[in-house]
Structure 1
Amino acid sequence: MEHQETLPTVETAKKLGLLPEEFERIQEILGRVPNFTELSIFSVMWSEHCSYKNSIVWLKKLPKDSPRMLAKAGEENAGVVDLGDGLGCAFKIESHNHPSALEPYQGAATGVGGINRDIFTMGARPIAQLNSLRFGNLNLAKTKWLVKGVVKGIGDYGNAFGIPTVGGEVQFDDCYNVNPLVNAFSAGILKKGKMASAISYGVGNPVFIVGSATGKDGIGGASFASEDISEKSSEKLPAVQVGDPFQEKLLLEATLEIIDSGCVIGIQDMGAAGIICSTSEMSAKGEHGMDIDLSKVPTRQPNMKPFEILLSESQERMLIVVEKGKEDIAKKIFDKWDLNCEQIGVVTDTKRLNFYQDGVLVADVPAEDLVLGGGAPVYQREYREPAYYQEYKKFKIESIADLSGTDEIRKVAEHLLSHPNVCSKKWVAEQYDSTIGRANRNTNSPSDAAVVKVHGSEKSIVITVDCNSRYVNADPEEGCAIAVAEASRNIICSGGEPVAITNCLNFGNPYVPEVYWQFVGAIKGMKKSCETFGTPVTGGNVSFYNQSSDEGPVFPTPTIGMLGILDNPENRMTLDFKAAGDLIYLVGASKNDVNSSEYLYSYRGIKASGHPAFDLAEEKSLQDAVSKLISSKLIASAHDVSDGGLFITLAESAMPGQFGFAINTDAAFRKDAFLFGEAQSRVLVSVKADKLAEFEKALQTDGVRYSALGTVTSDPNYVIDSEVIVAAKSAKEVYDNTLEGYLV
């Protein structure tokens, strides 16, 4: 064992993010006081980011099974779903929030790199990316700096790596002023039977580190992600990794080639906690151990210490266990792609990880005790309903006056068209390459979810990321259920069949009972919604500590990444109106509800209200009915009613084809609720006149409420109750250019 003049104390452990009782537990496991390298190992592996110690109790309650599931949640680098035709889809979403708060360009770029490595480590070739972004007040110089850096980081890395970014979401609220959220999603395709596993077994099998050299960037990144943002966070810039998309492209090709060669026992990407994470998780899963010589790890800086090599989160690296005797196959493949491929150890039957440097044993730890599901601590945190929750529920729509006439309706319409949360995110999207790979089917015709063709098959995957954090803050259980429902609704409206989700659970400090209450509520809502739509959870990540000492926690933001399948390309549905004279209908029921709407929140300035009207059974019936309408070819367009309410949904359907619309409101409802409320379970559709009778009969048969609104017009105006609310051209100019006006 390495010589230590003074062994770590409980104070050392606390500085590394460990609790005093955890330090005692480590001594019990080892039968002695750990040296600094060993304590550093436990500190990162037992951090929330790696161990999920504060969340796993509740995560286990989520549904994880379906006949389509090929890799279950938490068992591999990403979830894998059976697409049929001998194909599978690996997909996952993860956060890179804390790094992006300090260094937005590299923080976001390495988030993209990390999520794609999770996909191709499974043996899947990535074909599409999404992202879900949250920022603070767009009038602040810091927010503008963060937005520009994050968007450029995502664009530069994804574009150079060669994977299209096909959609996503961007939202703004003061609660994200200090702590932005950067959630990256990737999906890839593999052949069934070619899936690789993050496992290690077979005594004597060689262990290789491949890809980039190891540097001091990212050291302690997992621990950094498991603490609040503070004024001292900027001192932890070394915890932000540096990415190289060109290296990652080479690593992608080499990884898929070596998996295809058949010589791989197990493989895992080096994300959070680097070498120690990969060696411990693979060993524990395979119930084996490893002897690792850190002197053989290619490094960028001389004289790196053992803990620095073990904890570094340098990007574009993999750990591969190869079948003994096939070392030359591995070396030739990585030589071909001009990448490092160094044997750094062997598999043992000890179930322990022995790390050496220059012939000296520097750490000896049991693999099982480091990992989730093994010896890592598991906590059931206290939770308590926050005082604001009951206050929010007190809001009644009767406490505010309805819109009094056309002028006020016009003011709200113009406010929403120009609001950063509602307006087009074109300025962001145009910095991403969305067409590389020739698979994006949304390039010329938008739909509620991204539709991406699977080459060599008639199938497409349908993918979306969704979460309205205002709704979740108002009511975590119902708000998160809505997030799942909206993701499912977006896939249905695009012609797809929802099949599974991945989640990125962004919350504040789990040691704060009111924050943990939000987390527990969100899990309950996700569970019931996923069970209703038959979309099990394939994996994802938990990102706690999204708060600052000054600003408090961000809104609870459980981002839902959902995968759907479109088997028949003829069933693809888009959101744009197709022709003047088509009839406009609302499928679903209007309600006198403006709760948590953008209208109420930002136009009326009322922050405290409950979640929008939502009934899970009603939502399921609606989605089933819309799916039948699409497969029966009874509608020409479908667009779900969400942010900004019915008016914005109408405008977004009219804009692509440069149409107008003329609709009438319903006297049974308040004008503000009818036009700008965000009650759930509603879809705007357009119908050809010759399909009308069959369309109405189908909905009557299914018992789903619907109402006629009006017609699509060639007249370039948006007309409500015979009054021109806004000219289509000016509406589109405002909608398209507002965000750029803030940032350029």
Structure 2
Amino acid sequence: MPEEPRFDTVAKAESTPDTPQPFAELGMKEDEYDRVRDILGRRPTSAELAIYSVMWSEHCSYKSSKVHLRQFGEKAPESDALLVGMGENAGVVDVGDGYAVTFKIESHNHPSYVEPHQGAATGVGGIVRDILTMGARPVAVMDALRFGPADAPDTRRVLPGVVSGISFYGNCLGLPNIGGEIGFDAGYAGNPLVNALCVGVMRHEDIKLAQAPGPGNKVVLFGATTGPDGIGGASVLASATFDEESHAKRPSVQVGDPFLEKLLIECSLELFAKDLVVGIQDLGAAGVSCATTELAAGGTGGMRIELDRVPLRDPRLTPEEILMSESQERMMAIVAPDRLDEFMATCAKWDILASVIGEVTDVTPEEAERGGRLVMTWRGETIVDMPPRTASDEGPVYERPYARPAEQDDLQADDAARLERPRTDAELREQALRLLGAPGIADPSWVTSQYDRYVLGNTVLATPHDGGMIRITDEGDRGVALATDGNGRYTRLDPYTGTQLAYAEAYRNVAVTGARPLAVTNCLNFGSPEDPAVMWQFAESTRGLADACRQLGTPVTGGNVSFYNQTGSTAINPTPVIGVLGVIDDVNQRLTSAFGRDLEGARVFLLGETRVELGGSAWADVIHGHLGGLPPRVDLAAEAALGELLADAADQGAVAAAHDLSDGGLVVALAESCLRGGVGCSVELSGDPFVELFSESAARAVVVVRPEAESVFAQLCDRHGVAATAIGSVGGSGLAVRHSDGGFDIPLEELRAVYESALPAIFDAE
């Protein structure tokens, strides 16, 4: 009689239905475990339990957010540009001339707290592979970062590691980092946000999808070997609340190799060019579990895998560990048998390890109705026999209870209008400098100088300008602009309005480059979905974004939800980070935010309307440590009009520089534009100088108009219905502010000393 295998098999699962299983330790609820038993008609094997636990984790299944994310499809505006929408690895939009662009933003928050360098590095690697999987060449990255107080000891531990991880991986890949943002707030202490964006370019006909069609086609795993790093990363790190034991989870953080990923990129692009791939998926969260179930579900529904054939870095790995490993730099392709030799030869050319680990199978009508059939063997024994669609597409869907928190009314009633305002010009001047030197507003060069912004040679705008811009091909002048924005203070005060303001700011940051906004991606960072107050924030936030995108005609192409961003019972301020992509026909017509010396004498105009809006403002936060009241009013029609005006003005050469108004208001925008161009400006304020300098009213920008084009500019403002007020001119050696009762001056040298010293004083000292 043959000896029974020591590992768990389907036959053993059928004969031992009462064997206790560690579903709770894997993050599964008891009712979820019971549902798996119902699906299979027996207890799961340990390998099947591993698959369901990671695929049904919050990170992979969106089980608490699906009911709200559906709005992005239900309310989606009609868009001729949208080629691939939500549901694939990344969205794809048509940018003209037969070219398409794919872009997406995702989080790697918890891993970046546990092990900052590798957590951030592999966040970049993962989002780059998502873009590659669509058939595109990755051409640029961005990042949106949030940390605790800049001078806090833990921030001084986490931030340098995160920045080194991003720069190490991106620089080694040879991808320019063209922008993003960085913020500091006590609410992110112990729970930083590391959101990474990538954009790629392809021809329309090059789009690839995550599917496994064609029975008999081979399943090929190629790239790095599979090791113990990252085992359980998606479920352990992204679906749990942080506590003092977080550092014990360090083995769940993946380890990246950007040099191997660079080879993997070039190898994959050659495979695509030779048409050797009929389906493709990267191995990110949930590793082999995710790739096999999603590819099978997206194709015939059938697949057979010999798990023994997976190349291992550690031969001691069990089947469960192989399935849950999130080792980086791996891809899975579906290849026709008659193209397999050429596929393998191409991989060998790039020194990429490739192994056939299975094949696509047909399914019976009954199996198809149940969700397909995925079979996996280990040492000749069947250890998985399950419907893949039940893991990839038919996981739990929770309608979590949500309720407006009781303290929301008191928070909104605590209006910033009660705060003491500066009474003299000396106080106005001093507070302007305090704002300019505040971490999060101050010069981010300590961070961004560690990134290569110009590698590949197609970057035309990058940090410190409002949006990043790249030329999409070496031969033409068509380009795309991108910006990411999010303001947790605004969203804490009003999640619906705050999210629309984040979207509006990103939209505006693209518009001030001269590009026309086209599409949206998002990374929604929130606390625990099991908290009704957090779920109310999330429900209002998604509703706000869906409504805004519908009104301005920019579809959501995909993104990421990151829950459990809290330490103990304290959640972060809700922080939806919104990425907007726009298109510009000719990058030579782009606008920068710098007041250059060639513009001396040209007039400065303020576009839009300024109101007394200080709730959630940088002034209230930096000067008074206050958060309360209501955020600025949203006027999406005004944002659209401003965007059209800026695009037309750029096309016609009427505007020479443009800078949006956001954190810190007019005074920060003027100071930044002066410092970026190395020349001062003088402005005359007609109203309350405090309100005009520090208000954060939305739908505003400052522009410098070419003297010979002022009449054209005036006609454009009339056509688009945008208020334009001449407030001063470019020139001088500092920022000169005048109003009816006086004014103040700040030399450029003083502005620069305050602006540029803030982060180095903290992190260079460390």
Structure 2 Cα separation of the partners of residues 478 and 293 of structure 1: 51
Secondary structure of 1:730's counterpart equals helix
The residue number in structure 2 matching 1:634 is 654
Q: 1:590 to 1:319 in 2, by over 3 A?
A: same
Do the aligned residues in 2 keep the contact of 1:8 with 1:34 (CA within 8 Å)? Answer: no
Do the aligned residues in 1 keep the contact of 2:56 with 2:395 (CA within 8 Å)? Answer: yes
The residue number in structure 1 matching 2:5 is none
- Specify the code of the residue in structure 1 equivalent to 2:621: Y
The residue number in structure 2 matching 1:67 is 80
State the Cα deviation string for residues 182-213 of structure 1 (Å, max 9, x = none): 00000011111111111002111111100000
Do the aligned residues in 1 keep the contact of 2:513 with 2:590 (CA within 8 Å)? Answer: yes
Shift in Å, 1:365 = 1.4
1:23-34 matched pairs, under 5 angstroms:
23-34=33-44
Secondary structure of 1:92's counterpart equals strand
Shift in Å, 1:7 = 6.2
Answer yes or no: is 1:432 the counterpart of 2:451. Answer: yes
Shift in Å, 1:35 = 2.1
Structure 2 Cα separation of the partners of residues 290 and 401 of structure 1: 68
State the Cα deviation string for residues 64-90 of structure 1 (Å, max 9, x = none): 45211111111x211111111111111
618-627 vs 250-259, greater mean Cα deviation: 618-627
Structure 2 Cα separation of the partners of residues 8 and 131 of structure 1: 48
Structure 1 Cα separation of the partners of residues 645 and 429 of structure 2: 33
Do the aligned residues in 1 keep the contact of 2:17 with 2:42 (CA within 8 Å)? Answer: no
Answer yes or no: is 1:549 the counterpart of 2:563. Answer: no
State the Cα deviation string for residues 450-475 of structure 1 (Å, max 9, x = none): 11111232201111111111111111
232-241 vs 459-468, greater mean Cα deviation: 232-241
Do the aligned residues in 1 keep the contact of 2:497 with 2:633 (CA within 8 Å)? Answer: no
Do the aligned residues in 1 keep the contact of 2:148 with 2:188 (CA within 8 Å)? Answer: yes
Do the aligned residues in 1 keep the contact of 2:101 with 2:202 (CA within 8 Å)? Answer: yes
Shift in Å, 1:50 = 0.8
- Return the match for 2:410 from 358, 369, 391: 391
% identity of equivalent residues: 41
Answer yes or no: is 1:356 the counterpart of 2:377. Answer: yes
Q: 1:258 to 1:701 in 2, by over 3 A?
A: closer
Q: 1:167 to 1:27 in 2, by over 3 A?
A: same
Q: 1:516 to 1:11 in 2, by over 3 A?
A: farther
Shift in Å, 1:531 = 1.4
Q: 1:264 to 1:698 in 2, by over 3 A?
A: closer
State the Cα deviation string for residues 563-600 of structure 1 (Å, max 9, x = none): 11111234311111132211111010111121111101
Q: 1:110 to 1:481 in 2, by over 3 A?
A: same
The residue number in structure 1 matching 2:694 is 676
Secondary structure of 1:15's counterpart equals coil
Q: 1:279 to 1:397 in 2, by over 3 A?
A: closer
Structure 2 Cα separation of the partners of residues 720 and 648 of structure 1: 16
Secondary structure of 2:24's counterpart equals helix
Answer yes or no: is 1:689 the counterpart of 2:702. Answer: no
Answer yes or no: is 1:193 the counterpart of 2:205. Answer: yes
Unmatched 5+ residue regions in structure 1? none
Structure 2 Cα separation of the partners of residues 77 and 97 of structure 1: 19
Answer yes or no: is 1:586 the counterpart of 2:606. Answer: yes
The residue number in structure 1 matching 2:26 is 16
The residue number in structure 2 matching 1:529 is 548
Shift in Å, 1:615 = 2.0
- Return the match for 1:613 from 622, 633, 637: 633
Structure 2 Cα separation of the partners of residues 689 and 319 of structure 1: 58
- Specify the code of the residue in structure 1 equivalent to 2:612: N
1:209-248 matched pairs, under 5 angstroms:
209-224=221-236, 225-248=238-261
Structure 2 Cα separation of the partners of residues 316 and 205 of structure 1: 23
219-228 vs 106-115, greater mean Cα deviation: 219-228
Do the aligned residues in 2 keep the contact of 1:582 with 1:689 (CA within 8 Å)? Answer: yes
413-422 vs 449-458, greater mean Cα deviation: 449-458
The residue number in structure 1 matching 2:279 is 266
The residue number in structure 2 matching 1:650 is 670
529-538 vs 646-655, greater mean Cα deviation: 529-538
Q: CA RMSD in A?
A: 1.7
Do the aligned residues in 1 keep the contact of 2:500 with 2:634 (CA within 8 Å)? Answer: no
The residue number in structure 1 matching 2:579 is 561
1:340-739 matched pairs, under 5 angstroms:
340-350=353-363, 351-372=372-393, 375-442=394-461, 447-455=465-473, 456-549=475-568, 552-578=570-596, 579-667=599-687, 670-721=688-739, 723-739=743-759
- Return the match for 2:190 from 143, 155, 178: 178
Secondary structure of 1:214's counterpart equals coil
1:117-196 matched pairs, under 5 angstroms:
117-196=129-208
Structure 1 Cα separation of the partners of residues 427 and 544 of structure 2: 36
Shift in Å, 1:42 = 0.8
The residue number in structure 1 matching 2:59 is 49
Q: 1:205 to 1:698 in 2, by over 3 A?
A: closer
- Specify the code of the residue in structure 2 equivalent to 1:365: M
The residue number in structure 2 matching 1:78 is 90
- Specify the code of the residue in structure 1 equivalent to 2:179: G
Structure 2 Cα separation of the partners of residues 696 and 389 of structure 1: 43
Structure 2 Cα separation of the partners of residues 481 and 716 of structure 1: 35
Structure 2 Cα separation of the partners of residues 46 and 103 of structure 1: 25
State the Cα deviation string for residues 104-158 of structure 1 (Å, max 9, x = none): 0000000000000011111111111000000001111111111000000000010
- Specify the code of the residue in structure 2 equivalent to 1:30: L
- Return the match for 2:49 from 27, 31, 39: 39
- Specify the code of the residue in structure 1 equivalent to 2:84: A
Do the aligned residues in 2 keep the contact of 1:637 with 1:685 (CA within 8 Å)? Answer: yes
Q: Provide TM-score, normalisation by structure 2.
A: 0.94
Q: 1:459 to 1:694 in 2, by over 3 A?
A: closer
Structure 1 Cα separation of the partners of residues 580 and 301 of structure 2: 35
Do the aligned residues in 1 keep the contact of 2:609 with 2:700 (CA within 8 Å)? Answer: yes
Do the aligned residues in 2 keep the contact of 1:383 with 1:514 (CA within 8 Å)? Answer: yes
Structure 2 Cα separation of the partners of residues 716 and 703 of structure 1: 32
Shift in Å, 1:9 = 6.5
Give the 4+ runs in structure 1 shifted more than 6 A.
4-11
Number of residue pairs matched? 737
Q: 1:446 to 1:99 in 2, by over 3 A?
A: closer
Answer yes or no: is 1:96 the counterpart of 2:114. Answer: no
- Specify the code of the residue in structure 2 equivalent to 1:219: I
State the Cα deviation string for residues 350-407 of structure 1 (Å, max 9, x = none): 32111111111112111011013xx211111111001232123213454234321111
Secondary structure of 2:42's counterpart equals coil
Do the aligned residues in 1 keep the contact of 2:685 with 2:737 (CA within 8 Å)? Answer: no
Do the aligned residues in 2 keep the contact of 1:90 with 1:124 (CA within 8 Å)? Answer: yes
Structure 1 Cα separation of the partners of residues 549 and 733 of structure 2: 43
Structure 2 Cα separation of the partners of residues 213 and 616 of structure 1: 49
State the Cα deviation string for residues 527-585 of structure 1 (Å, max 9, x = none): 111112211011111111111115x1111111111111111234311111132211111
Do the aligned residues in 2 keep the contact of 1:498 with 1:564 (CA within 8 Å)? Answer: yes
Do the aligned residues in 2 keep the contact of 1:658 with 1:716 (CA within 8 Å)? Answer: no
Shift in Å, 1:11 = 6.8
